[in-house]
Structure 1
Amino acid sequence: MKGPYPDIQGGGSLLLAWQIRNKRVLVVGGGEVAAGRIVNILNADAKVTVVSPRDGLNDEVAYRIEQKQVEHVDRKFEPSDLDGVDMVLTAVDDPDASTQIWKLCKEKKIAANIADVPPECDFYFGSVHRDGPLQIMVSTNGNGPKLANIVRRQIAAGLPKNIGAAVQRVGMLRKKLRKVAPNIEEGPKRMQWMSKVCEQYTLEELCSMTEDDMEMLLGFYRPGTVPSLEEVRLQEPDGAYDGPFLI
C-alpha cells in the first residue's frame, strides 16, 4: 500500500547549488578534463590554483594561466598544496597518485572529486545548461556522463529563449522587495507574494518589466495583491492601496 508521503529512493545524490565564490579550489592536472573543470569553477567565482608541470598543460589551461585567470604551480602535486584549500579536483592519468590525493583530502576533510573514479568523489559534476542566472544540472550519479549531456540538451531545447532574462528580472524584484519588507517575520508573506507574481506574469511580461514597473508593483505588496502589468503601468502612486506609497 502506498503511503501518504513520497517514497524514499536511495542511491541518489543531494543536488545543491554550492556557493564557492572566493573559495580556494586546487586543480591537479592540466589536460582536457582539467580545462572543463576550471571553466565550471571560474564561472562560480572561485580562486583557482592549477598544479601541473608546464609540459602537461593543454592549450586552454595554458591560456587561462596566461590570462591570469588562475594561478599555476609548475610541478607535480605535493601534500603541502592542500594547505588552506576548500576543494580539490584531480584530473591526472595516474590512478595511484589520484588515490593518494583523495586519501589526504579525507584526512584533512577537504571535499574532493577524483576524475573518472566515482567511489573517490565527494561530489560529481553534472551536465549544466546556463542562461544568465539560470542553471540546470543533469546528473547520472557518475553512471553515464555522455547520457547526462544528451538529456541536458533535450531539456534546454524545450526552454523558452527568454527564460534567463525573466529569472534575472525576478531576482531584481526580489531584492527590491527585501528592502521594502526586510523583517524576518515577513519571510512567508514575501515568498507567497513573489510566487503570485511568477505564476500570474508571463515570461514576456517579466522580461519587459522596468525598474519603474517594479517599484510601482511593490506598492501592492502590503495588501498582498498582484495586478496585471497593464494595471501596474496605469496605476498612480497613491492609488495602489489606502496608505502611504511604499517606494
Structure 2
Amino acid sequence: MSSKQFPEVQGGGSLIVAWQVRNKHVLVVGGGEVAAGRILHALNADAAVTVVCPKSGLNEEVAYRVAQNQVSYIDRTFEPQDLDTADMVLCAIDDPEASTQVWKLCKERRIPSNIADVPSECDFYFGSMHRDGPLQVMVSTNGNGPKLANIVRQKIANALPENTGAAIENVGLLRKKLREIAPDAREGPKRMKWMSNVCVSWTLEDLVAMTDKDMDALLKHYQSGNVPNLQEIRETSS
C-alpha cells in the first residue's frame, strides 16, 4: 500500500479541541490582566468561575466581575483545599514558586491546568481567538509566538465576510428544525448530506437573510433531496 494515500504525521503540535466547560467549575488563581482574560474566556464558555486572589491584587476588570457577581470570589491567596471542587485550574500569578506548587497539586489530583507563561506546566494553551456569535476561530503557535498568533488571527478575521456569525446561527436553527421533522437516527447521513448541500449552494448573504418562513419552505424539499435557492423558495411560498 502506498504511503502517498495518507497525510504525513507532523509531530510537535497540540490536539486542538473545543473543550465544553458549561456549568463546570473553573478555578482562576490570580486577579491581574492575564487572569482577567482567562476569566472572560471561561465565562464565555458558560463555566462556573471562582477567583481566588487577595483584594489588593484585583485589577479593574476582575474587580468588576466580582462586584457584578459574575464569578465567585475568595479574598486570599491560594490554598490546596481550593482544588476540592475544581474541574479546571487557570493560574496567573507573578510568583513562579507558588505557580509551580499549584501545578504540582493539580497533577496529583489529575485536574487539567494552565500555568500562565510556563508552557512546561500547562496541560493546554490559550490561543488567539476570533469570535463572531457561534463562530470561534483559534490560532495557536504552540507557545512559540503569542504575538504572531494575534497577527495571524487578525488576518483571518479580516478575510472573513461580514455577518458570518449570523449565517451560522441560521444554519443552526435550520438543522434543529430538520432534526424535528426527520428525527430517525437512520436519517443521519441524509440529513448531513442535505445540510451540506444547503451550505454549499446558498451564499452567506442568503443564509443571513433566511427567515423562519424560508426555513419551513426549504424543509419541504428535504425528502426529495433538492436544494432550491432563496429566490425560488420565496417565489413558491408567496
**Shorter-chain TM-score: what band?**
over 0.9
Number of the residue aligned with 2:40? 39
- Give 1:53-202 correspondences, 5 Å limit: 53-202=54-203
Give, in whole Å, the separation in 2 of the partners of 1:102 and 1:67.
Answer: 29
Number of the residue aligned with 2:222? 221
Give, in whole Å, the separation in 2 of the partners of 1:191 and 1:46.
Answer: 30
Q: Tell me the SS of whatever aligns to 2:5.
A: coil
After TM superposition, where is structure 1 displaced by more than 3 Å over at least 4 residues in a row?
A: none
Give, in whole Å, the separation in 1 of the partners of 2:26 and 2:18.
Answer: 16
Give, in whole Å, the separation in 1 of the partners of 2:177 and 2:108.
Answer: 44
Q: Tell me the SS of whatever aligns to 2:137.
A: strand
What letter is aligned with 1:124? Y
Q: Tell me the SS of whatever aligns to 2:90.
A: strand
Segments of 5+ residues of structure 1 without an aligned counterpart are 238-247
**What per-residue deviation string (whole Å, max 9, x for no partner) do you get for residues 111-132 of structure 1?**
1000000011111000000011
1:207 aligned onto 2:170: no
Give, in whole Å, the separation in 1 of the partners of 2:85 and 2:185.
Answer: 34
What letter is aligned with 2:76? R
Give, in whole Å, the separation in 1 of the partners of 2:230 and 2:206.
Answer: 7
Give, in whole Å, the separation in 2 of the partners of 1:40 and 1:129.
Answer: 12
Give, in whole Å, the separation in 2 of the partners of 1:176 and 1:78.
Answer: 48
What letter is aligned with 1:99? T
Q: Tell me the SS of whatever aligns to 1:212.
A: helix
Q: Tell me the SS of whatever aligns to 1:220.
A: coil
Give, in whole Å, the separation in 2 of the partners of 1:236 and 1:181.
Answer: 21
What letter is aligned with 2:60? D
> Aligned-pair distance for 1:236?
4.9
Segments of 5+ residues of structure 2 without an aligned counterpart are none
What letter is aligned with 1:17? A
Give, in whole Å, the separation in 2 of the partners of 1:61 and 1:138.
Answer: 25
Give, in whole Å, the separation in 1 of the partners of 2:12 and 2:226.
Answer: 43
Give, in whole Å, the separation in 2 of the partners of 1:94 and 1:22.
Answer: 29
Report % sequence identity. 67
**Number of aligned positions between the proteins:** 237
Number of the residue aligned with 1:16? 17
What letter is aligned with 2:151? I
What letter is aligned with 2:201? Q
Give, in whole Å, the separation in 2 of the partners of 1:140 and 1:183.
Answer: 42
Give, in whole Å, the separation in 2 of the partners of 1:176 and 1:16.
Answer: 27
Give, in whole Å, the separation in 2 of the partners of 1:182 and 1:11.
Answer: 41
Superposed CA RMSD? 1.2
What letter is aligned with 1:133? P
Q: TM (normalized to structure 2)?
A: 0.97
> Aligned-pair distance for 1:32?
0.6
Give, in whole Å, the separation in 2 of the partners of 1:236 and 1:208.
Answer: 16
Give, in whole Å, the separation in 1 of the partners of 2:235 and 2:161.
Answer: 28
Q: Tell me the SS of whatever aligns to 1:113.
A: strand
Give, in whole Å, the separation in 1 of the partners of 2:237 and 2:170.
Answer: 22
> Aligned-pair distance for 1:2?
5.5
Give, in whole Å, the separation in 2 of the partners of 1:223 and 1:7.
Answer: 40
Give, in whole Å, the separation in 1 of the partners of 2:8 and 2:45.
Answer: 34
